[in-house]
Amino acid sequence: MKLFEHSNPTSVQEAVKMLSVQNARPIAGGTDLIGVMKDGLLPTDRVVNLKSIPGLDYIKEESGEIRLGALTRIGDIASSSVVAQKAPALAQAALAVASPQVRNMGTLGGNLAQKVRCWYFRDSDRADCYKRNGSYCYAVFGLSDVHAIFDGAACFAVQPSDSATALSALGANIVVAGPEGETVIGVDDFFIGPHVDYLRETILSPEQIITEVRIPASAVGQKSVFLKAAPRRSIDFARTNVAALVIGDPVQTVRLTLGAVAPTPRRATEVEAFLVGKRLTAEVIGQAARLAVNGAQPLASNGYKVQLAQGLVRQALTRLAG
Amino acid sequence: MSKKTISRQRVLQLLDDPEFQLAAAEYPDLYEDEIDAMNDFLRSVTPPVPEHVRAAAPTALKIIGTRQRRIEDPARLTGQALYASDVRLPDMLHVAILRSPYAHASIASIDTAAAEKLPGVRAVLTYKNAPKAVISAGPPVKAVVNQEVHFEGEEVAAVAADDMHTAREAVNLIKVQWKVLPTITDLEAVMAAGAPALIAAGTSNFSVGTPVKRGDFDTAYAASAVKLEGAFTTSTLQHGPLEPHVSVARWEGPDRLVIWASSQYMSSVRSSLASFFAMPRSHVRVSTENVGGGFGSKGGPQRDTYIAAVMAQMTQRPVRVAYDRPGNFKAATHRYAEIMRLKAGLNKDGTLKAYSLASIGDGGAYKAGTSALPPIQRVYEVNDASFQETNVITNRGMSGPMRCVGDPQGTFAQEIFVDELAEKAGMNPYDFRMKNMASVDQDHEDRKWNSFGLPEAAQKGAAAIGWSQKWHKPAGKITGTKAHGIGMALHACGHGSMSLPMTAFVRLDRDGSLDVNNSLTEIGGGQATAAMMIAAETVGVKISDAQPSWNDTGFLPDAGVTAGSRGTISAGSAMRNAALDLKYQIMQVATAGAKPMLAGKPEDVDTGDGFAFLKADPSKKVSLADVANSTGNPMLGRGTHVVPPNTSMSTFAAGFAEVEVDLDTGDVSLLRYVAAADVGKSINQLGVEQQIEGAVSMGIGLALLEEQKYDPQNNYPVNWSWENYAMPTTLDHPKWADFTPIIVEPIDAIGPYGAKGVGEPPASPPGPAIANAIYNAIGVRIHDAPLTRDKVLAAIAQMKR
Amino acid sequence: MTEINESGTPQDAPDLATDPQPDEPLSRRRLVIGGLAAVGAAAIAAGSLSRAASVVTAQEISDRVVVADPSLCVGCLACEVNCSTWHASVGRAAVARIRILTDPTVKLNARVAAFLPARAGNTPQTCRQCPTPWCLPNCPTEGLQIDPKTGNRFIDESQCIACGKCEVDCPVEFNGTLAYKAQTISSKRVVYDPVKNVYAKCDLCIGRDGGPICVERCPVNLAIKTGYIKSDHLALELKPSTEAQWKQLA
């Protein structure tokens, strides 16, 4: 690891200021950034430690919303009774993240703003990868087990966050602080694909940070579910995950999001439109599952994700039907 | 089969060739003739243990067969154990390594000037200034660092600097211009006519092994009532030791080298380095206190050791080389992938009549030996058979032995294939196996096995899992989206029998305590504890008065490599003989002199619990401390063991798996696993159970998760990290209560107290047992390990539902 | 004619930002297309474009044009992404001037199909560098130009007033379903960038060392060059914009 400067801001404004130099990166739990730095994947000259900012670690209910500070650790979300009762998909997603050790370090903000896990990107020898400002995607004619079946464009890395999928289904909003002050943005608009900018996975500019995540009142207390499939029952990033929120029977409101199948969490809007007004019978669920993978374009070795996504959607909706 | 003639000179060479010793431990079948010749020679020069000494062996066992915690555990569990990784010496330099970014390439030019100028850099090693001596003559030649590299991640240059940061920075300053050479990503394309030469023009990319033939396969196959063919593959697997390759080297003057190495074979590090630097072996001292896992990858000195020794010589300072995790994934050896094609013919009644295997093993970049044959040759009785292995070169890292070398591959193919044969014959897979099981060594004049516990292992395992109640027709038990399945596999192992060298010392101290010494590296398998138990039992001291040492070639005799499941049985045999030697000395000293401590002949004396006593009247006794104090000489027992001629030794194992497959997601839950292992006499019950668990865990990895993947275009390893090379975690195993190790103990006539090896045999059945269980659940066969989600989902898509 | 080196790169492609312009590019003021409806490729060859500038000789048609073989396209969108990224990086409109549309009738090259069976049915489309530069005559400014050395028809954004006349006059369309998120598209191949408020079209990456970035970075092209995909031509190729070629594109 190269030498770098480490700074401890005590306020969000100070952090934003410290981030305004080149190759400055925010750190919270460090479970992602340290690996990126050790492998020399992205040049890093300054690390801005967000943990020194007080008051960003909380789970509270306010104006009917659940608000989570960006520094809330994943493990605390997984064990929060408020989240478990009122936003079950997020609690289940938090519990599905990595291992207990990582959950006890990693934060919600970091989980949303982490870099992709593409195995070519993470190989320090593959410096010409798009995500490293290069010009090639090894996944197209390489091994694509962990890559996108939807919306790949030049780069085929997927958004690895489990919590992002759950928050998308919950219709959450993200509070972002930057030099121009605070903005609130929906999760679905927070993530961007390579067609927009292959160097970033989110709208965050280098000097912007996440300060809070808000689960809207409309989703609080509603039935929701998160499911994840990964090689192992612990530790691994999702090969596919799914989260769904269903209100009403017949369905009045439904939000369904697939994760790890596309460069961003992928709302299944076609499925949502199909489900509104219907009862979640086995047949309807089967049709919805098929519709969820409509238009998938797998690469050489991620075709299994099409079947897997379908299976997970079926199981998720079946649970919400019960 | 005709035997090769091997000259005495060659035998002497082999005895001193560490690479051969390792290979012989791991591939006893491949080197059978050489091993026989070595044994013949050693028998001719080794005086047998005299009958009166042999007769001193204890009869009632007090220690053997009990449950003992491993001797090294307290230090390891409290973080106090010293590993090679922990060694830090004054003025020590740290080394960073530049690795090849290409699977096959040659250095056109290399510029190290900028790296050398960086403050804190003490030496830069490239092929240009590397010693002329090579690690192996090849082809391909393997020097300390090469000009031509044969796999991605191969060592190209090394920088020794005052600290690791400087060394890493300097490595980034080295500029290399590469000439990229052809590579072939398909194992079979390597053998195609016109394929580019991967080693050198004129050197073949592959070699065809000597076939093992019985009778006439073709005729018998043609005449068979039921015929079946099948092709199977297994993947490249990583050993994944928690401690990567690490060596610390220090020159103490121009002709004395001390090395701390993470190695399974201290003595070979010593002899290899002595030979590399053309020094007497006595001038090289190797210390290996603890090893953070080896599983076959640390058999002999790897490049880390050579680089450390060479750079320590260049700089005249101690040098530490520790591979980082990507480096270890890429440049350590790995289990070779196999493609196996099986053919078999059955009689109408389900009797196996004809059987053949043609297999292709990925020998890797430096052409390691490969074989998948032993289990195929041993488990089933068949008179007309043909088995052959072809070994190919690839640019996919270095192949090498890994736990149960070759057998998990062969057993994976065979035991799925046998399941299919049973179905074709209309028989229950268990009944089919029991009907066709072989009970003798068919390739050696149908000799009886020294000990044969396979039927008992199969019976006990089947009973434990409830085979007769739980087995059902394929896809016969589906509830909702969950499909239940059960499967089994048998295994006869090429490992767990004896191999050379076997020497040991046992020393009785003047306080009556026992030092148990040999250089068999304790790598976590419990060999040191077992050696201690054998020595304590044999000499007759309390186990609390005995302690083993295994950590320094400076004073320990060569007991060979900790590999091939040979540690307890081979080194243990020598240990038993050393202990017998000491015991007889005790019997002599106790009864010697004008005023003997015990009145009688040596043969009238026995020992136990730290005393020597008269057999006829145990109340007439003398403490072993008093015996030791009555002689000025150190009481040192020496022991050597040689395998008796014309014996056939094999270990056996059976595995039973129960799974549940989720038809929506392809999730495979391993509900229950029963591992029955024929271990001969179990020395340390606890140690044996631990070894069975560890072996099964690796087998689960092979079955469901583990696969080193290579980019299909460039042959780069892709998943070279813990993240994407998925080893099973605790949650991927059955719950503790649902894992059942069963120890089957047919006393082996030549093993120490009847023991055989156990570290490897239980690693082979899980692959096919789990694959067969998945078939039983969903009714679609998968022939390619690992049975990852993508393959299971593809199979589910083929189900008739 | 510009010499083309082995890699298909024009050796003397001008850099708009820095190179002095030896010959003033052709623009509407010096180029009037007469009898548009009657003018065809044959007429072009006959030199029927009436023009003031005698400096223009072979530049009546573009030296080169980006040509795609749909049977080699896997729809990875590297061309689109790199196109917009490169143009943005040199300060031009951040829109893709090449688009991949879906076409279920396209059959993949056998080797590509064996590796990526699910990625057939794509057809990359871009500006044809028409022999008759239909987009150019009605441009009220110097926005649309022809490079005097190469004949490359390109837009100088500094001159573009976004009147849209070039789009109206462009005779070819992106029409159908995009490979990108299956979005429907119906537009001319001169496209509008609302962010910069200019029009954009394929300019063969004018000024870029290495030529059009889509050709350089197409992963299928790279796989063909390494021999991984067997093909005697590339998926995206910079070809001489001859009459025969143009006919094929049309």
Beta-carbon count within 10 A of B687 CB: 23
Of B326, B664, B726, the CB nearest to A314: B664
Q: What are phi and psi of C216, to 5 degrees?
A: -65, -40
The pLDDT, as a whole number, for residue C7 is 40
Tell me the C-alpha to C-alpha distance, in Å, between residue A142 and each of A296, B185, B331: 19, 12, 21
pLDDT-based confidence at residue C45 (cuts at 50, 70, 90): very low
Stretch 167-196 of chain B: residues touching chain A, C-beta under 8 Å: 168-169
With CA atoms as reference, the chain A residue closest to C94 would be A196
Chain B residue numbers touching A145 (CB-CB < 8 A): 709, 790
What pLDDT does B380 receive? 98
User: Which residue in chain B has the smallest CA separation from A228?
Assistant: B665
> In chain A, which residues have their Cβ closer than 8 Å to the Cβ of C82?
135, 154
Longest CA–CA separation in chain B, Å: 91
| Chain A closest-CA separation from residue B688 CA (Å) | 27
Determine, for residues B724 and A146 on separate chains, whether the beta-carbon distance falls below 8 Å.
yes
Nearest to B100 by CA among B153, B169, B173: B153
Report the relative pairing of strands A253-259 and A223-229 from DSSP bridges. Answer: unpaired
In chain C, what residues touch A298 (CB-CB under 8 Å)? Answer: 118-119
Per-residue model confidence as pLDDT tens digits over B408-430: 999 999 999 999 999 999 999 99
Q: Which candidate, B220, B213, B446, B215, places its Cα nearest to that of B354? A: B220
Contact B128, B110 (CB under 8 A): yes
Three-state SS at C108: coil
Q: How far apart are CA A214 and CA A187, in angstroms?
A: 10
CA atoms within 13 A on the CB side of A46: 17
Question: Shortest Cα distance from C228 to chain B (angstroms)?
Answer: 7
CB contact under 8 A, A236 and B726: yes
DSSP-H helix ranges across B428-564: 429-436, 454-465, 467-470, 527-539
Q: Which of A233, A300, A308 is the closest to B789 by Cβ?
A: A308
- Contacts of residue A120 in chain B, CB cutoff 8 Å? 718
Judging contacts by C-beta atoms under 8 Å, the chain C residues touching residue B712 are 115
User: For residue C20, is pLDDT > 80?
Assistant: no
Contacts 24+ apart (CB under 8 A), B197-206: B198/B104, B198/B150, B198/B393, B198/B394, B198/B395, B199/B138, B199/B139, B199/B140, B199/B367, B199/B393, B200/B139, B200/B140, B203/B139, B205/B392, B205/B393, B206/B390, B206/B391, B206/B392, B206/B393
Distance of CA B754 to the CA centre of its chain: 21
**Per DSSP, which regions of chain C are E strands?**
26-27, 31-32, 50-51, 64-68, 99-102, 122-125, 144-146, 153-155, 173-177, 184-188, 191-193, 198-200, 236-240
- What residues of B are in contact with residue C115 (Cβ under 8 Å)? 712
Residue recorded with tokens 């969820």: A292
Distances, alpha carbon B466 to alpha carbons B461, B657, B733, C164, C223, in Å: 8, 11, 19, 79, 54
Helix B685-700 and helix B766-778: axis angle, to 10°? 50
Query: Looking at chain A from residue 160 to 189, which residues have their Cβ under 8 Å from any Cβ of chain C?
Result: none
Give the mutation candidate from A235, A242, A258, A318 for the B interface (greatest B CB count, under 10 A): A235
Q: pLDDT-based confidence at C9, cuts 50/70/90?
A: very low
| Contact yes or no for B260/B83 (Cβ under 8 A) | no
Q: Do B665 and A236 touch (CB under 8 A)?
A: no
Q: Nearest CA to B558 among B139, B16, B14? A: B16
Residue of C220, C221, C228 to mutate, testing the B interface (most B Cβ within 10 Å of its Cβ): C228
Residue of C nearest to A199 (CA): C85
Give pLDDT, residue C35: 34
pLDDT of residue B27: 84
Mean pLDDT by 10 residues, chain B (801 residues): 83 86 84 90 89 90 96 94 96 98 97 98 98 93 97 98 96 97 92 92 92 97 98 97 97 96 94 96 95 93 97 98 96 97 98 98 92 94 97 95 95 98 98 98 94 98 98 97 98 90 94 93 93 97 95 87 92 96 96 94 96 97 96 92 91 98 98 98 96 97 98 94 95 95 95 95 98 98 98 95 68
Asked if omega into A250 is within 30° of 0 (cis), the reply is yes
At a CB cut-off of 8 Å and minimum separation 6, what does B276 contact?
B131, B133, B135, B306, B309
pLDDT at residue C57, rounded to an integer: 37
pLDDT tier at C244, thresholds 50, 70, 90: confident
Please choose, from the candidates B297, B365, B281, B411, the residue with its C-alpha nearest in 3D space to the C-alpha of residue B761: B411
SS3 content of chain C, % helix, strand, coil (to 5): 25, 20, 55
Q: For position C130, what pLDDT does the model report?
A: 87
* b/e code B67-95 from CB counts within 10 Å (16+ = b): ebebbbeeeeeeeeeebbbbbebeebbbb
SS (H, E, C) C59-101: HHCCCEEEEECHHHCCCCCHHHHHHHHHHHHCCCCCCCCCEEE
Say how many Å lie between the first and final Cα of chain C, rounded: 24
Q: What is the pLDDT of residue B717?
A: 95
Q: Are B291 and B284 in contact (CB under 8 A)?
A: no
- Work out the pLDDT band at A118, boundaries 50, 70, 90: very high
For A304, which residue in chain B has the nearest alpha carbon? B790
- Residue B181 C-alpha, separation from nearest chain A C-alpha, in angstroms: 18
pTM (2 d.p.) = 0.94
Question: Residue written as tokens 């006059």?
Answer: C169
Task: Show the 3-state SS of B137-179.
Answer: CCCCCECCCCCEECCCCCEEEEEEECCHHHHHHHHHHCEEEEE
Q: Find, among B481, B741, C121, B206, the residue nearest to A286 by Cα.
A: B481
Any C CB within 8 A of B713 CB: yes
CA distance C120 to B196: 32
Mean pLDDT over all residues of chain A? 97
User: How far, in Å, CA of A256 to CA of B395, rounded?
Assistant: 45
Write out chain B residues lying below 8 Å of C223, CB-based: 713
Instruction: Supply the pLDDT for residue C27.
Output: 59
Residue B255's alpha-carbon distances to A311, B35, B281, B440, C134, in angstroms, are 67, 33, 11, 52, 85
C116-142 confidence digits (pLDDT tens): 999 999 999 999 998 888 899 899 999
At B473, is the secondary structure helix, strand, or coil?
coil
The alpha-carbon gap from B103 to the nearest alpha carbon of chain A, in Å, equals 12
- For A46-55, write each residue's pLDDT tens digit: 999 999 999 9
Instruction: Retrieve residue C209's tokens.
Output: 């060392």
- Determine whether the interchain pair A194/C81 forms a contact, defined as Cβ–Cβ distance below 8 Å: yes
Residue C51: pLDDT band (50, 70, 90) is: very low
Partner residue facing A300 (CB), from C80, C115, C180: C115
Other C-beta atoms lying within 10 Å of the C-beta of residue C177: 16
Q: Is residue B689 a contact partner of residue B722, using CB atoms and an 8 Å limit? A: no
* Cα dihedral B532, B538, B542, B545 sign: negative
The predicted pLDDT at position C82 comes to: 98
- Cβ within 8 Å, pair C115-A151: no
**CB contacts < 8 Å between B and C, how many?**
4
CA atoms lying within 13 Å on the CB side of residue A196: 14
Q: Tell me the pLDDT tens digit for each residue of A204-245.
A: 999 999 999 999 999 999 999 999 999 999 999 999 999 999
CA B204 to chain CA mean position, Å: 28
